[in-house]
Copies of this chain bind each other. A is one copy, B any other.
């Protein structure tokens, strides 16, 4: 069917949408969510149909296209394009199979993950995939196949020899150990191609934090160069397309806050596998407001990770850590970067818990390399001798040093309403306050903790300081604190 292009001047990212008038949709016998090929000259792209029930913006004979479609087809308002119904992709059949409780093989996962990567499945279809994997569960073989499919639909970076890597399952604000562990490992002579993510629902990801110090958007070639010179890097994985389906799956999990175990493991392992890691340490923080709320859950996840690692020929070790409160003092990219540099510089005011946890993780990784019996001792030696700081500066300079981020213009002190001993700090509320203050987009926004669990506090003593470059955000962040008390005495 020939239709005239209407430029909608909207770009929402993600799936490619074509809006048809309800009469034209009926002529083609297609429904909202069905697929059409939109053709112009020798170019063609597949879109998902949305149907306009009003004739105002999209009258009969017109097709409303978003900016992404116009750009890819190199067309504009008024061009005549051809629209053809192309039916459903094969991946829908596989999703249906999983929904009916059957197991999927590598090829089937590959086709689903490829279509997700290419933004070729609708929210409804992706949700059926996520929910059927979640409810029916994934067998160990399925997790392995899903991991491989995620790797094979993205970029792979090849390294030889012992390649160390780490990952934290998340949920603990301020937990920026990666930026301390990586230079220690690199200084010990091992390769650690660390790719990290940006924050999705947290106030800072390692990529956001590292970006206060250095450029993190590197090409594959640049990453290889940095690693050749310094043994390691700390870059944003999203910039080099490692297992790109993962982020798109997470977006569908977000509305119901689903934590699908199989998908979590596949997601983590795919990113490690994509950079050729063969010795991987997984940190599972356990606490009331983290993913693993009790020992049973944490241990179950540990066993799964280790088992899947074995199936993928990776040496995977899991450490269960304390997730009952934030790690370090700063929450938010700049404030966390300051904590990290404090530890690396052996600053006596640097947070002791961040240092201790980083040494523990680095020690375990050094032990996994097979070269050190007492990894912890070696890690401590590297950190305290200044070798780790030197290595970090080398990595920063190779990735491209950034101009220093300025302190936030506005701040506000939150004071204790009563005296007592702090029993608990709610990670979720702390994260929410930092986000409302502007983190991670406002790199200087966040909060700085003066008190942690176990500290004795007098009434009116400062508990933490909120930082923001926006006065209105600072006000909102204060309100969050009033509504959800996050320090439990």
Contacts and interface: CB of A to CB of B under 8 A. Distances in A.
Determine the interface band of chain A, counting residues with CB < 8 A from chain B: 35 or more
Interface in A240-286: 251-252, 254-258
A50 interface: yes
Nearest to A201: B31
A128 B256 contact: yes
Per assembly, the copies of the chain total 2
B125 A52 contact: no
Contacts of A26: 441
B52 A255 contact: no
A406 interface: no
A267 B128 CA distance: 21
A473 interface: yes
A383 B449 CA distance: 85
A29 B128 CA distance: 27
Query: Which interface residue of A64, A127, A251 has the most chain B CB atoms within 10 A?
Result: A127
A131 B123 contact: no
Given A131-B127, A131-B132, A10 B54 contact: yes
Contact of A436 (B29, B101, B127): B29
A139 interface: no
A135 interface: yes
Interface stretch (A92-100, A145-153, A162-170, A213-221): A92-100
Interface string A124-140: 11011001101110000
A33 interface: yes
Contacts of A50: 12
A384 interface: no
Query: Which interface residue of A135, A436, A470 has the most chain B CB atoms within 10 A?
Result: A135
A421 to B, nearest CB: 31
Interface string A84-122: 000010001001100101000000000000000000001
Contact of A135 (B52, B95, B101, B436): B101
Contact of A435 (B29, B58, B252, B473): B29
A177 to B, nearest CB: 26
Given A12-B51, A67-B54, A67-B56, A255 B122 contact: yes
Contacts of A95: 256
Contacts of A88: 255
A48 to B, nearest CB: 10
Interface string A46-72: 000011111011100000100100000
A99 B135 contact: yes
Contacts of A488: none
B99 A256 contact: yes
Contact of A99 (B9, B33, B134): B134
A318 B135 CA distance: 32
Nearest to A480: B29
Shortest 5 CB-CB contacts between residues of A and residues of B: A11-B54, A127-B127, A9-B57, A131-B131, A13-B53
Interface of A: 8-13, 19, 26-27, 29, 31-33, 50-54, 56-58, 64, 67, 88, 92, 95-96, 99, 101, 122-125, 127-128, 131-132, 134-136, 251-252, 254-258, 432, 435-436, 438, 441, 470, 473
Given A10-B64, A29-B435, A132-B135, 4 more contacts: A32-B251, A122-B123, A122-B255, A124-B255
